[in-house]
Chain A
Amino acid sequence: MSADHSGAQATVAARVRHLEGLLEQRGLIDPAELDRALAAFLAKASPANGARLVARAWLDDGFRARLLADANAALPDLGLSMGGGPQEQRLKVVENTEDYHNVIVCTLCSCYPIALLGPSPTWYKSEAYRSRVVRDPRAVLAEFGYQLDPSVHINVWDASAESRYMVLPRRPAGTDELDETSLAALVTRNGLIGVAPV
């Protein structure tokens, strides 16, 4: 029953609302406290975090190596963590090269590192993206306006279990003079998912 999700998200949302109402009625949770916890998490969750990681990795080979080997251990260098939820989640950073391109999807739902990429875009959660990107990633990238050279191999990462993925895009040409802040400003959420060059 792994693919039975049409309409399931709406059902889950209705259940969560109902459950939340019951918990409030019985005085088990304070709705304001729930809102505060969500707001605190989302206030820090932004693609600017992922962009800072990328800029640092472009400038510091040692950091890049650590980020790719064990991302959770490298995150504290920039004051970041994957611990915003109930438990720390494992992060895997995958590197684009001249001949290898990575794209992220969660075909079963919409798993995604919110802390580093901000709330996920609607298209990321759509049935169309989730089903088509595994089948024909090159065509999907083209629809995003990203014409990847035919010689570049594509690997699609389906975040179907407990790890979350972020793409480390290639550093654009002609950016040798830029400092870390300016480099981070070049990085987009789509680049961190792998549907844009950067």
Chain B
Amino acid sequence: MVTTSGGADSATATGGRWSPPLVAVLAAVVAICLLAAGGALVLITGVGSTRPPAESSADAGFARDMSAHHAQAVEMAQVVRDRGSDPALRLLAYDIETTQLSQIGQMRGWLQSWGLTPESDQPRMAWMSGHGHAVSTDGLMPGMATTAELDRLKSLTGRQLDVYFLQLMIRHHRGGLEMAQEGAEHASLGYVRDLASKTAGSQQAEVVTMEQLLRERGGQPLP
């Protein structure tokens, strides 16, 4: 190995002396470059990048529970989109249905990319920080309709259907509000907080619209 002698090597061999400071400088340059390249490699390969939200995180909890909450709104909205008696209400129902269905898709996509699924051992809303928002005895999240109420909605027609839909949807939106606000505050990822706060904003505004529609139809909000 050492027998090879290029021009440079023979020169050093005959000269016999290297300047120690030069060697030190070269060594330092090599060390710095290797360190920097190492750092760059770490960046490229993504080692040490932030880990996705964990199973029990607020992000995952919000994505799971809001998806489930949204899914019932989609189900109720489909009834009125198909059979509502009033074009304005049918359009509102269509808006709720398509927007929330699309958001369910977003949230399930997040879960998948985080290596999680919509199904979990975590109890509903356990990720929320405050108190007093426990699920009801029948396991429903705030604002959600019971099976009996859904059956009743599906059995109604005409103006009765319109009014009952508004009553259920107002309660549903109100119930989801606290969860949305909690997500907007406590999720760790910016895009999760963003969707949560926009959901809170649009549902609050939609409640105002629906209350007006309900009044125009002579209905009263559910307690």
Judge: A and B partners, yes or no.
no
Name B's A-contacting residues (CB within 8 A).
Answer: none
